[in-house]
Amino acid sequence: MTLKQKVIFITDACSAIGASAVQEAVHRGARVFMVGANEDELQAMQDKMRVKGFETAYAVADVAEYDQLLVAADACLKTFTRIDTWINCASFKLYKTITETTDQEAKRLFDTNFWGVSNGCKIATSLMKVQDQGEIINLGSFQSDIALPLQGFYSATQHAIKGFTDALRRELMTQNSSITVSFVIAGEVSNKEVARALLSLEGRGEDLTLGRAAKFMPAFQKLFPKLQDSVITLWYSHHNKLDKLKLFH
């Protein structure tokens, strides 16, 4: 099935990456169902899409709430009859030391970043088994392999998402399922590049790494773990202001 024939379900559709993915998809002929937490932002995107003649629809949902996301999926099925590709984009970062992070902050981070992906994958898998086809794509960070200071809990969510994604892919493979599961590992690349990558997998079911840091740092850590510790510690000690952390985004 070409992208022009697909129905694509995108969470956090109003985020920078989500919005880029929506625009890339509709320009390539796909029908897109957008999910987000802010109805005003979703309606504004919907208006822009409809004016240009693109086929889109939306639902308001918090991805951390399974029932809300299930209602959104049902709305997509009622509108477009199926979901061919489900993209889990919802994520946010928290810049604090581990000891300064409150339990409430850490829980919210995991609720959105990890449980949002888990909820989306479970719902997508269930409905795609009925269709006997489908593609699930989880968006992650190179921090699925690397942990950074001041982003400890965020790094933990990314490690969890990577393990969950690998496990789901292999479970479906053991079941001889036609559903594919992919993981896009984003480093220091533009939102447009990430959006294009999300839509380039074409059901291959694989990991796709974007950016030099995302490719280099995990490999360097495996070869020289102690040296990696020293380099990261030295850099953060010298540049300890949050506005200088852009190097690792």
3-state helix, strand, coil in the chain (%, to 5): 55, 15, 30
Predicted confidence (pLDDT) at residue 172 exceeds the cutoff of 90: yes
Please compute the mean of the pLDDT values over residues 171-183 and round it to a whole number: 96
Question: Residue type for 16, please?
Answer: A
Helix (H), strand (E) at residue 123: helix 115-131
Rounded to the nearest 10°, the torsion over CA 189, 140, 42, 112 is: -140
How high is the mean pLDDT of the chain?
Answer: 91
Cα separation values, 84 from 26, 157, 174, 178, Å: 14, 26, 21, 12
Closest to 137 measured CA to CA, from 201, 79, 81, 74: 201
Distance CA 113, CA 12 (A): 11
> Do 168 and 121 meet the contact criterion of CB atoms below 8 Å apart?
yes
Contacts of residue 8, defined as CB under 8 A and 6 or more positions apart, other chains included, come to: 25, 30, 31, 32, 33, 83, 84, 85, 86, 87, 199
Confidence bin at 232 (pLDDT 50/70/90): confident
DSSP assignments along 53-68, one per residue: T--EEEEE--TT-HHH
- pLDDT tens digit sequence for 26-76: 999 999 999 999 999 999 999 999 999 999 999 999 999 999 999 999 999
Domain 3-214 CATH (choose: 3.40.50.1580, 3.40.50.720, 1.10.10.10, 3.40.50.150): 3.40.50.720
Residue 208: φ, ψ to 5°: -130, 120
Q: Break the chain into its structural domains and give their ranges.
A: 3-214
DSSP assignments along 5-45, one per residue: G-EEEESSTTSHHHHHHHHHHHHTT-EEEEEES-HHHHHHH
Confidence bin at 189 (pLDDT 50/70/90): confident
Confidence bin at 241 (pLDDT 50/70/90): low
